[in-house]
Structure 1
Amino acid sequence: MFVDVAKIYVKAGDGGHGAISFRREKYVPFGGPDGGDGGKGGDVIFVVDKGLRTLLDFRYKKKYVAMSGENGGSNNKFGKDGEDLIIKVPPGTVIKDAETNKIIADLKDENDSVVVAKGGRGGRGNSKFATPTRQAPKFAEPGMPGEERWIILELKLLADVGLVGFPNVGKSTILSMVTGAKPKIANYHFTTLTPNLGVVDLPGVKSFVLADIPGIIEGAHEGAGLGIDFLRHIERTRVLIHVIDASGIEGRDPIQDFYQINEELKLYNEKLAKKPQIVAANKMDIPGAEENYKRLVEEMSKHNIKVFKISAATNQGLKELMQYVAQVLEALPPDEEPIGEFYIPEEKKFTYTIKRADDGAFEITGSFVDRLLLSVNIYDSESLKYFHKVLERKGIIEELKQMGIKDGDIVRMNDFEFEFIE
């Protein structure tokens, strides 16, 4: 089974919590704070493995979670960092953010890698909050949550040259004759249900990778037949060999076939139709093919496209075709064109909103509030002083004043309420 698209959920590890601890040693009855920091959460990292060919593993496993960092301990012991989660993918894998459909990474070469979800930072232990005036802080910082997201994996074959054309025109036979690949071949449409790759390595021909793309039919750009699932594989190729049945044995006109296939390429992605093309007039061993070959040569001369007379079944003209393809590849500049819009992650910030509730209280909600309440001990005076200082630094106190808060008004933060006093 060939799987070339997968949607999966990834989550990096959460940071470990900072510890609240005090030295308790003999002869040191009132030791200072010694709570250690929490460990960092593990990242989720994708790495190219040349031994892989499909995304089949992701068909059955959809959720990938990295290890969280360990909590801090006493005696200023730091929590252990969570282990990174390494996920291996085949070369040619494009990773997209599922929400925006923008590209996070394009992994082409061996050992290419990308961090798709960063682990959360470990929280600071209470020893980090000690000051000359706050000598025994009874609060610590929670670990930061690890990043999480749904992503889409798309596999696009890394081939130099793609064989395109209608079903049953002989693409698989050509691949089998000029490479060591052994694709399934039979005389019916859509024999090739998955793209096949092979390396052309003939005497006197500089080697290159050739892909047999499943047959394209009218409406393929909209998903008809094998459609979009396989059109994406042509995007990676630098040259297209357009295989045409010159015999017309199935009742189709070779010239009409050429224009129809190109129209599908253009409708899917206009850049595809602009790739260098070479026409391979196949099945020349069948009577009646010669007349169509002459028509093809005349028509293709209008587009400055070279036509090769071949018979894949008898190996006629295949070496000459491959020699010419190698020359065209040699003359082309490296293809470094981006394959789409890249994803730019937003800066993560803890935010809040303030609104007036129906009962007159000032309600403060948001990720900033959630994290702050996890950090403080509301039953400890030192901790509450730190809590008030954070509200001042964040600008919340000033914002409340601008909203008209007065002494005695209630401020509500999730389940925690307090009276405002100037």
Structure 2
Amino acid sequence: MFIDSAKIFIKAGNGGNGCVSFHREKYIAKGGPDGGDGGRGGDVVFIVDEGIRTLADFKYKRKYTADSGQNGGAANCTGRSAQDLVIKVPPGTVIKDSETGGVLADLTVAGQMAAIAKGGKGGAGNQHFATSTRQIPNFAKSGDPGEERWVLLELKLLAEVGLIGYPNVGKSTILSMVSAARPKIANYHFTTIEPNLGVVSVGREKSFVIADIPGLIEGAHQGVGLGHEFLKHVERTKLLIHIVDVAAIEGREPISDFDVINEELKLYNPVLAERPQIVAANKTDIPEAEERLQKFTREIEGRGIKVFPISAATNKGLDELMFYVSGRLDELPDTVLQDAAGDGMVVYTPQEQKPFEIRVEDGVFIVEGVWIKKIVNSTNFNDYESMQYFQRALRSRGVIESLESMGINEGDTVKLYDTEFDFVR
């Protein structure tokens, strides 16, 4: 089965903790602080690998965690930074934030890379906290946590040309005639249950990729038929070939077919409605098609869209169509992926997290947050100077002020993860 989407959890490595250490050497009784800094945690990096064709591997492994940085050591030794975790994906992979749906990266070219989760910064060793009044700092900072998130991977086919139209209008037949692709072909709806790709050669060193998009029906944008699952595969194409059964074999009017499919594209993503189109009026080898073809051509070309009469079954008109398509592709710019309400590619920037949040449960004031956890882990509660630094940090970051604004009283319990103390003004 063609796997074109996956949801995975990624976590960058934590930064290593700073070290508490003091210089010890013969004849030097009281050396100064020499605790080294922690190393940086590894990033989670996605890279395009042309040897991968699907997202099938992500069906079996869904969690990816980078290594953490090494803790700092004595004698001013900085901990080793961790290597990045590199995840290989096929060309055409779009990475989205699972919670917001925002595009984090659009990976199309072999070797293209994107760091989606940043590793934590290493903590500072106690050598950084020595001052004229604090000459033996008995504390250091812990490393920052690595970023983590659930992401959605979507594989969007890198075809320059997409074949669209109702089921059973001849898209698969056309693909098989103009390329070496061998899609399944039969006379019933939804023969194509996954996009087929073919390479069309139009001369020496000149070719383009064409995709047979599964058939659409009215209501496809709401998920009817094979709608939502595959409509996204046309988003990257530079040009659409709209195949219409001009012989009306199934009793539908060609002009109506054309309008219905374009409305589905518009409802799915308005950007697609603006994509350049040409029309291939298929099944012209059937005698009943001639009268409808003339009416259809007048109407569609009156809208400024070129119509090519073809017969996929007999190969009539296909060469002329493909040469015209090749020329149009040379004129068209590359497609930029956009969301329905977006303005283009969204550049990934880490979100600033609140340093702390406070809630009250059973009379206990609970203070939590990334910064709170870091300062708690960095504090030596058995050391007076470390406690002084801890209290000043809480006050400078506004924790004490926030507690007072929430009505805390003398002697009330404050809990910071596993640490509890009585509030004293």
Q: Under a length normalisation based on structure 2, what TM-score does the superposition of the two structures give?
A: 0.90
State the shift of 1:101 in Å: 0.8
Q: Counterparts in 2 of 1:238-387, with a 5 A limit?
A: 238-336=238-336, 338-339=338-339, 340=342, 342=346, 345=349, 347-349=351-353, 351-353=355-357, 364-387=367-390
* Correspondence 1:416 to 2:424: no
SS across alignment from 1:236: coil
Which residue type is aligned with residue 416 of structure 1?
E
Q: C-alpha separation between the residues in 2 aligned to 1:184 and 1:369?
A: 60
* Correspondence 1:133 to 2:137: no
Q: C-alpha separation between the residues in 1 aligned to 2:97 and 2:259?
A: 35
Which residue of structure 1 lines up, in the alignment, with residue 176 of structure 2? Answer: 176
Q: C-alpha separation between the residues in 2 aligned to 1:310 and 1:182?
A: 20
Q: C-alpha separation between the residues in 2 aligned to 1:303 and 1:357?
A: 67
Q: Which moved more, 1:197-206 or 1:29-38?
A: 197-206
Which residue of structure 2 lines up, in the alignment, with residue 188 of structure 1? Answer: 188
Q: C-alpha separation between the residues in 2 aligned to 1:405 and 1:61?
A: 47
Which residue type is aligned with residue 258 of structure 2?
F
Q: C-alpha separation between the residues in 1 aligned to 2:33 and 2:87?
A: 40
CA change 1:192–1:75 in 2 (3 A) is same
CA change 1:165–1:387 in 2 (3 A) is same
State the shift of 1:14 in Å: 0.7
Q: C-alpha separation between the residues in 2 aligned to 1:147 and 1:334?
A: 33
State the shift of 1:399 in Å: 6.0
- Contact 1:364 / 1:411 at 8 angstroms: preserved in 2? no
Unaligned runs of 5+ in 1: none
SS across alignment from 1:88: strand
Q: C-alpha separation between the residues in 1 aligned to 2:181 and 2:285?
A: 23
SS across alignment from 2:314: coil
State the shift of 1:42 in Å: 0.5
Q: C-alpha separation between the residues in 2 aligned to 1:399 and 1:50?
A: 53
CA change 1:96–1:329 in 2 (3 A) is same
Unaligned runs of 5+ in 2: none
Q: C-alpha separation between the residues in 1 aligned to 2:43 and 2:135?
A: 35
CA change 1:239–1:205 in 2 (3 A) is farther
Which residue type is aligned with residue 167 of structure 1?
P
- Contact 2:40 / 2:68 at 8 angstroms: preserved in 1? yes
Q: Structure 1, residues 35-61: CA drift from partner, whole Å, max 9, x if none? A: 221111100111112222222111221
Q: C-alpha separation between the residues in 2 aligned to 1:234 and 1:398?
A: 55
Q: Counterparts in 2 of 1:382-393, with a 5 A limit?
A: 382-393=385-396
Q: Structure 1, residues 190-218: CA drift from partner, whole Å, max 9, x if none? A: 22211122222123895222111111112
Q: C-alpha separation between the residues in 1 aligned to 2:421 and 2:58?
A: 47
* Count of residues paired in the alignment: 419
Which residue type is aligned with residue 386 of structure 1?
Y
Q: Which moved more, 1:367-376 or 1:118-127?
A: 367-376
Q: Structure 1, residues 80-127: CA drift from partner, whole Å, max 9, x if none? A: 111101111122221111111111111222222211100011111222
Q: C-alpha separation between the residues in 2 aligned to 1:306 and 1:364?
A: 66
SS across alignment from 2:371: helix
State the shift of 1:346 in Å: 5.2
- Contact 2:174 / 2:312 at 8 angstroms: preserved in 1? yes
CA change 1:398–1:101 in 2 (3 A) is closer
Which residue type is aligned with residue 121 of structure 2?
R
- Contact 2:237 / 2:335 at 8 angstroms: preserved in 1? no
Q: C-alpha separation between the residues in 2 aligned to 1:299 and 1:47?
A: 47
State the shift of 1:249 in Å: 2.8
SS across alignment from 2:271: helix
Q: Structure 1, residues 350-378: CA drift from partner, whole Å, max 9, x if none? A: 5235678876x876544433222211111
Q: C-alpha separation between the residues in 2 aligned to 1:78 and 1:153?
A: 36
Q: Which moved more, 1:231-240 or 1:325-334?
A: 325-334
CA change 1:275–1:147 in 2 (3 A) is same
Q: Which moved more, 1:178-187 or 1:309-318?
A: 178-187
State the shift of 1:278 in Å: 1.5
Which residue type is aligned with residue 12 of structure 2?
A
- Contact 1:97 / 1:343 at 8 angstroms: preserved in 2? no
CA change 1:122–1:260 in 2 (3 A) is same
Which residue of structure 2 lines up, in the alignment, with residue 221 of structure 1? Answer: 221
- Contact 1:411 / 1:420 at 8 angstroms: preserved in 2? no
State the shift of 1:177 in Å: 1.7
State the shift of 1:132 in Å: 2.4
Identity of aligned residues (%): 56
Q: C-alpha separation between the residues in 1 aligned to 2:281 and 2:201?
A: 22
CA change 1:145–1:202 in 2 (3 A) is same
State the shift of 1:270 in Å: 2.4
- Contact 2:366 / 2:414 at 8 angstroms: preserved in 1? yes
Q: Under a length normalisation based on structure 1, what TM-score does the superposition of the two structures give?
A: 0.90
* Correspondence 1:30 to 2:33: no
In angstroms, what is the RMSD of aligned CA positions?
2.6
- Contact 1:192 / 1:215 at 8 angstroms: preserved in 2? yes
CA change 1:139–1:283 in 2 (3 A) is same
- Contact 2:143 / 2:374 at 8 angstroms: preserved in 1? no
Q: C-alpha separation between the residues in 2 aligned to 1:273 and 1:419?
A: 63
Which residue type is aligned with residue 381 of structure 1?
Y
State the shift of 1:391 in Å: 3.0
Q: C-alpha separation between the residues in 2 aligned to 1:313 and 1:371?
A: 70
Which residue of structure 2 lines up, in the alignment, with residue 166 of structure 1? Answer: 166
